Amino acid sequence: MRGKFITLEGMDGAGKSTHIPDIIKLLELKGVEVISTREPGGTVLGEKLRTLLLNEAMHPETETLLMFAARREHISQIIEPALARGAWVLSDRFTDATYAYQCGGRGVLANKVIDLEAWVQGDLQPHLTLLFDVPVEVSVARLASARTPDKFERESADFFTKIRNAYLDRANKNPNRFCIINSNQALDDVKVEVKNVISTL
């Protein structure tokens, strides 16, 4: 039986990555193999592209193309083989992030991303996307006290507002796939929300 594909999305500072270990444990309790990965990255080439994408200034369309180049390798080497053997894949970001960051944040035309998505992914879509949502001011405050920021994390509040709006628009258009997690609450409460969603799979 083919495995399931779960993605985690949200603005920088939304706290999604914090919940990955707990989600892995919850899934493993179901008796399934879990592959945890991330975008951009996940493969040797993907991680090299990640370094460029997070640190080098470039044209927004170049940024978009490199994201999909890393994604093509990710799908081919990690995601598809795992799903085919029945493993469940948990990815920290996927194509929704491109719609949010490159379309919403950078202003790349959505039809260009739609074409790339069809070319690179075919019919592959996540079974479930957890969108960790916080107000922009909370995200910015969290990033201010974080590690050395990458180029995305150094962006303005206006940039993050565009990203958040793009994410929420994606969620509204895909209600059967998205589950919005209120990440602006106590950590234990967020964990309960996540556990309740995962328990339904």
Q: Work out the average pLDDT over 148-156.
A: 84
Q: Into how many domains does the chain fold?
A: 1
pLDDT at position 154: 84
Count CA atoms closer than 13 A to 137's CA, side-chain side: 0
Do residues 133 and 167 lie in contact, with contact meaning Cβ atoms separated by under 8 Å? yes
Q: Which of 31, 149, 152 is nearest to 93 (CA)?
A: 152
The radius of gyration computed from the CA coordinates of the chain, to the nearest angstrom, equals 16
Do residues 36 and 43 lie in contact, with contact meaning Cβ atoms separated by under 8 Å? no
Cβ neighbours of residue 119 under 8 Å, at least 6 residues apart?
A: 68
Which residues form the domain of 9?
5-198
Q: What is the CATH number of the domain that holds 59?
A: 3.40.50.300
Residue pLDDT, tens place only, 66-95? 999 999 999 999 999 999 999 999 999 999
Q: Catalogue the E-assigned strands of 122-186.
A: 128-133, 178-182
pLDDT at 157 over 90: no
Neighbours of 72 (CB within 10 A): 17
Q: Which of 13, 50, 3, 30 is nearest to 138 (CA)?
A: 13
Helix (H, G, I), strand (E, B) or coil at 178: strand
